[in-house]
Amino acid sequence: MDPRSERSLAFVHPDLVAIIRETEQLPQAFIVVEGIRTVAQEQHNVDTGHSTTMHSRHLPNAEGLSCAVDVAAIIGGKVSFTPGQEAEVFGAIAAQVKAAAEELGIPVEWGGDWRNFKDWGHFQLPWKEYP
């Protein structure tokens, strides 16, 4: 993992960190751009339309850990959120993350699978298993 990703993984649940570290960087390389958020950061994200809830998995749980990360693709050596190609590019990343999660036996959810709000770069541990 690159230094930015490692900083973003601080205060993230160890099971999600294990998934991200296990994830192959092929065919699509990526970095972790965000893990834990403060309530103020989450409120800003809601206010600007980057989040739809103040009940985010990015907010610290009872142990003070985030159960979510946001990633960005690396394309041509640069960070990209791939406007217009989100499903294709983040779909590849999701396949890589889900494969790592399956190999480790840890459940993971992808924001690209959501019906009402596609959060392409978002991965989280499920509420049911990680309250």
- What are the pLDDT digits (tens) for 96-131? 999 999 999 999 999 999 998 899 999 999 999 999
**Rounded average pLDDT over 54-62:** 95
**Rounded average pLDDT over 34-49:** 94
- Whether the bond between 3 and the residue before it is cis, its omega within 30 degrees of 0, is no
Taking 90 as the threshold, does the pLDDT of residue 83 lie above it? no
Residues ≥6 apart with Cβ < 8 Å to 128: none
Determine, yes or no, domain membership for 81: yes
Determine, yes or no, domain membership for 115: yes
| Cα–Cα dist 51/74, whole Å | 22
Nearest CA-CA partner of 54 in 44, 65, 62: 44
Determine, yes or no, domain membership for 96: yes
Determine, yes or no, domain membership for 90: yes
Identify the pLDDT of residue 112. 96
Determine, yes or no, domain membership for 89: yes
Identify the pLDDT of residue 10. 96
Identify the pLDDT of residue 51. 87
Q: How many domains does the chain have?
A: 1
pTM given for the model: 0.95
Determine, yes or no, domain membership for 129: no
Q: Which domain holds residue 63?
A: 3-124
Taking 90 as the threshold, does the pLDDT of residue 66 lie above it? yes
Determine, yes or no, domain membership for 131: no
Determine, yes or no, domain membership for 54: yes
Taking 90 as the threshold, does the pLDDT of residue 76 lie above it? yes
Assigned token pair, 57: 């998995």
The CATH number given to whatever domain includes residue 55 is 3.30.1380.10
